[in-house]
Chains A and B, each alone.
Chain A
Amino acid sequence: MNILLILPILIPFITGIILILAWNNQLGQKTLSVVGASLLLATGVGLLLSVWEDGIQVVQIGNWPAPFGITLVADLLSAIMVVLAGLMSTSVIIYSLTSMDPERESFGYHPLFHILLMGICGSFLTGDIFNLYVWFEVMLISSFVLVALGGEKAQLEGGIKYVTLNLISSAIFLVAVGILYGMVGTLNMADLANQLDNAKQPGLVTTLAILFMIAFGLKAAMFPLFFWLPSSYHTPPVAVSAIFSGLLTKVGVYTLIRAFTLLFVQDVEYTHTILLVASGLTMLTGVLGAAAQNEFRRILSFHIVSQIGYMVMGLALYTPLALAGSIFYIAHHIIVKTNLFLVSGVVHRLRGSYHLKQLGGMYHLYPMLAILFLIPAFSLAGIPPLSGFWAKFVLIKAGLQQGEYAIVATALVVSLLTIFSMTKIWGEVFWKPELESSEVTENPPLSSLLHLVLPVAALAAITVMIGLFSEPLFILSTRAAEQLLNREAYIQAVLGLGVQ
C-alpha cells in the first residue's frame, strides 16, 4: 500500500492535534503550523510523482475490500489538487505569521486551519461518496469557525449567510447520497460508476445527477447558487479569505468534475448542457457583479464566481482538451486568486482600508507592490504570456472545436470585462494620486513586511513561470483529463485490486 495517500490527510490532522495540545504556546503554534503546511506540500509533490509514474493509486482503509470499505484513490487530478492545497496553505500560513492578530491566534486559528486542510485533502482523495460528505462537513465546520473567528459585526452577518447556504447544500447532498444508495446499494464511487450505467431507472439517475449538481454547484458558487460567496468572503481577515478563495470553491469544482466524469455520464446531452448554460451565466453574472463593486475584496470575490464559470465550462464541453483546459484553469486560478487576496491584504496593512475610494498613490510609493499586483491581475484577465492566457486559450480552442460559439463569445467578453475590473483596481489603488485627506503618514518599506511580501512574490513568480513554460503543466493537465475520461481504468484500479 502507498503511505503517500494517507499522509495528506494525516499530516494536517496530526498537526492540528498537536496545535490543540499546544494551545497557549503562540510561538510553538506558528512554527508547527509552517512545518505542517510545508510537509503537506512535500507529500503532495511526492504523491503527484508517484501517480505520474505508476498510475492511479488506491488504498483500502482498514483492509476492507473495495466496494464495502472506504477507499482512498489518487489519480492525477486529485494529486494536482493536493499539491495546490499544500502550496496555498504554505504561502497563506507564512503570510499569516505577520497578518493574523494574536487575539485570533489564541482562539485557535492555526488548529482550525489545519483541520480545514484535512477536510480539503480528504475530499480530494476519497473514493467513497459518503466519505466525501463527511470530509465536506469537516471542511465546512472548520471554515464556519474561521469565518466567524474574531466576532466582528460583518463577520457574524457574513458567517450566518455562509453557514445557512452551505448547510442547505449539505442537506441536499446527504439526501442525494441516501437516494443513490437506496437505488443501487453501494457508495463506492467506482462501483457506483459501474452500477449507474446499468441502472433500471435512467430517469431517476438523471434526477439524482441534478441533485448532486445543485449540492456541488452551491459549494462551487455556480450560477444561480453563488450568493453566499460575495456576501461572506470579504468579511474575515485576509489570510482566511485567501485560503477560502483559493481552495474551498475549488473543492466544489473538483467534486463537480469527479461526479460528472465518473458517475453521471449516462445522459451527457442533458446534464452537461445544463452545466454549459450555467457556466456561461456564472461567468457573466460574476463579472458584472464585480463591475458594480468598489471594495477590493468584494471585487475579487465576484471574480471568483466569474472564474468558476470557466472551470465548469471545460467540464461541460466534455472533451479531453476542454477538461485539460479546466484543470489548467483550476491550477492557474488557485494561485492567482489567492495571490490577489494576499496583495489586497498588504495594501490594507499599509493603508488601513480595502475601499477603492479611500486608497491611492500606491504605485508612487510602492512600485514593487504595484508590479506584484499587476502580474496576477493581468494573468486573471488572460493577458499573454501569463498563466491565465494559456488557460483561457485552451478552453476557447476546445469550445471552437465543439462548435459552441455562444460560450466562446461569452468567455471572450467576460475576459474583457475582467480587464475592466482589474484596471479599475489599478487606477484607483495604485495610479491615482493619494487622497489629501489620507491620515496615514508613515510608509514602512516593503522589506519590513517580509512575511507578507514573500508569499506574494513567490506566487507571482509561479504565475510567470507557468506563463513562460506552460508546456509541462499542459501535458500534466492533458494526462489528468485523459485519466478522467478513461473511467474503466479508475474502476479497474479500485475494484480490481480490491481483494489484497
Chain B
Amino acid sequence: MEVFLAILAGALYAAGLYMLMRRSIVKLIMGLSLLGHAANLLIFTVGRVTRANPPVIGHEADMLHAPFADPLPQALILTAIVIGFGVQAFAIVLVKRAYQTVGTDDFDQMRSTDRYEDELFK
C-alpha cells in the first residue's frame, strides 16, 4: 500500500510541477492545487498506513485499545486542506482579475513588473 501511495504522490508532484511550468495562469492554479494534494498524500503516507482501530474512545471504554491508528497526520492534512481551500479560492479570484486587467493568460506577457523602465521611456 505504501509503495502504491508513494508512486501516486510522486505522480501528483510530477503533474503539478509540469503544470506549474506551463505558460498559462489557469494551468498554474491547477499545478498549485495538484502540489497541495501531493503534499497531503505524502503526509498521509509517511504518517504510517496501518490497519488498526479508529482512535476514538467508545461509550463503554475509557481508554484506547491498541492497535489504533495515529490521528495526527489526518488532522494535519485536514488543516492543510482547509487552508488550501482558502488559498485556492483567492488564487482563482486573483487570476481572474489579472486576466481581465492584463488581458492575457500568458506568462510571457506578464513582465511589466520587471520591465518597468522600458515601458516608461518608450
Binding site for B on A (CB under 8 A): 130, 133-134, 137, 140-141, 144-145, 148, 151-154, 156-161, 163-164, 167-168, 170-171, 174-175, 177-179, 181-183, 185, 187, 230-232, 234-235, 294-295, 298, 355, 357
Contacts and interface: CB of A to CB of B under 8 A. Distances in A.
Contact of B43 (A158, A174, A185, A231): A174
A141 B85 CA distance: 11
Contact of A160 (B39, B70, B98, B120): B98
Contacts of A161: 113
A105 B27 CA distance: 32
Contacts of B11: none
Contacts of A231: 113-114
B94 A144 contact: yes
Given A163-B90, A181-B72, 5 more contacts: A148-B94, A151-B101, A157-B102, A160-B25, A170-B87
Contact of A182 (B40, B48, B90, B112): B48
Interface of B: 20, 25, 28, 32, 35-36, 38-40, 42-43, 46-48, 70, 72-73, 76, 79-80, 83, 86-87, 90-91, 94-95, 97-98, 101-102, 110-114, 116-117, 120-121
B112 A157 contact: yes
In terms of DSSP, what is the predominant structure of the interface of chain A?
A: helix
B98 A156 contact: yes
B72, B79, B113, most chain A CB atoms within 10 A: B113
Nearest to A138: B83
17 contacts: A134-B79, A148-B94, A154-B112, A156-B94, A157-B112, A160-B28, A160-B98, A163-B90, A167-B32, A168-B32, A171-B35, A175-B43, A178-B42, A178-B76, A182-B46, A234-B113, A355-B116
A298 B120 CA distance: 14
A157 B42 contact: no
Contacts of B35: 167-168, 171
Nearest to A178: B43
A145, A174, A187, most chain B CB atoms within 10 A: A174
A159 B112 CA distance: 12
A282 to B, nearest CB: 19
Contacts of A174: 39-40, 43, 80
A182 B25 contact: no
Given A164-B28, A171-B36, A357-B121, A134 B43 contact: no
A423 B91 CA distance: 39
B117 A160 contact: no
Contacts of A148: 94, 97
A385 to B, nearest CB: 36
A386 to B, nearest CB: 30
A355 B120 contact: yes
A20 B2 CA distance: 46
A177 B76 contact: yes
A298 B114 CA distance: 9
A377 B15 CA distance: 46
A36 B5 CA distance: 48
A79 B118 CA distance: 44
Contacts of A158: 113
Contact of B46 (A145, A156, A167, A179): A179
B113 A157 contact: yes
A133, A156, A161, most chain B CB atoms within 10 A: A156
Contacts of A167: 32, 35-36, 87, 91
Contacts of A141: 83, 86-87, 90
